[in-house]
Amino acid sequence: MSAEPQIVNSVAVLHTVQQVRQWHSEQKSQGRRIGFVATMGALHDGHLSLVSAAAQRSDSVVVSIFVNPAQFAPHEDLDKYPRTLDQDIEKLKTTSVSPEPLRIAVFAPSVAEMYPRGISTHRDKQRGTFVEVLGLSEMLEGGTRPHFFRGVATVVSKLFHIVMPDITVFGQKDVQQCCVVRAMVTDLHFPLTLVVAPTVRDKDDGLALSSRNVYLTSEQRARAPAFYRGMCYARDLYNSGITDREALIAAVRQEAQKGGLDIEYISLTSPDDLSEIQEVKDGGAVLSGAWRMGSTRLIDNILLGFGF
pLDDT digit string, tens, across residues 87-98:
999 999 988 776
pLDDT surpassing 70 at residue 43: yes
Residue type, position 180, single letter: V
Mean pLDDT on 6-30: 91
Residue-averaged pLDDT of the chain: 95
* Long-range contacts of residues 141-144, Cβ cutoff 8 Å, at least 24 apart: 141/176, 141/177, 141/290, 141/299, 142/176, 143/265, 144/264, 144/265, 144/290
H helices within 84-194, ranges in order? 85-93, 111-114, 141-144, 148-163, 175-187
CA–chain centroid gap for 284, Å, is 21
What pLDDT sits at residue 96? 75
CA-to-CA separations, 71 to 36, 154, 177, in angstroms, rounded: 20, 9, 12
Mean pLDDT on 65-70: 97
Contacts of 271 (CB under 8 A, 6+ apart): 179, 283, 284, 285, 286, 303, 306
Is residue 164 classed as helix, strand or coil in its secondary structure? coil
pTM, to two decimals:
0.93
pLDDT surpassing 90 at residue 15: yes
Contacts of 219 (CB under 8 A, 6+ apart): none
pLDDT surpassing 70 at residue 2: no
Predicted confidence band of residue 101 (pLDDT cuts 50, 70, 90): confident
pLDDT surpassing 60 at residue 1: no
pLDDT surpassing 50 at residue 256: yes
Least confident of 22-36, 78-92, 186-200, 223-237: 78-92
Residue type, position 63, single letter: V
Q: pLDDT per residue over 113-161, tens digit each?
A: 999 999 999 999 999 999 999 999 999 999 999 999 999 999 999 999 9
Mean pLDDT on 240-261: 98
Which residues belong to the active site?
Answer: 47
Contacts of 85 (CB under 8 A, 6+ apart): 41, 65, 106, 108
CA-to-CA separations, 305 to 169, 233, 235, 266, in angstroms, rounded: 22, 15, 9, 18
Query: What phi, psi does 236 have (nearest 5°)?
Result: -60, -40
Rounded Cα distance, 176 and 286, in Å: 9
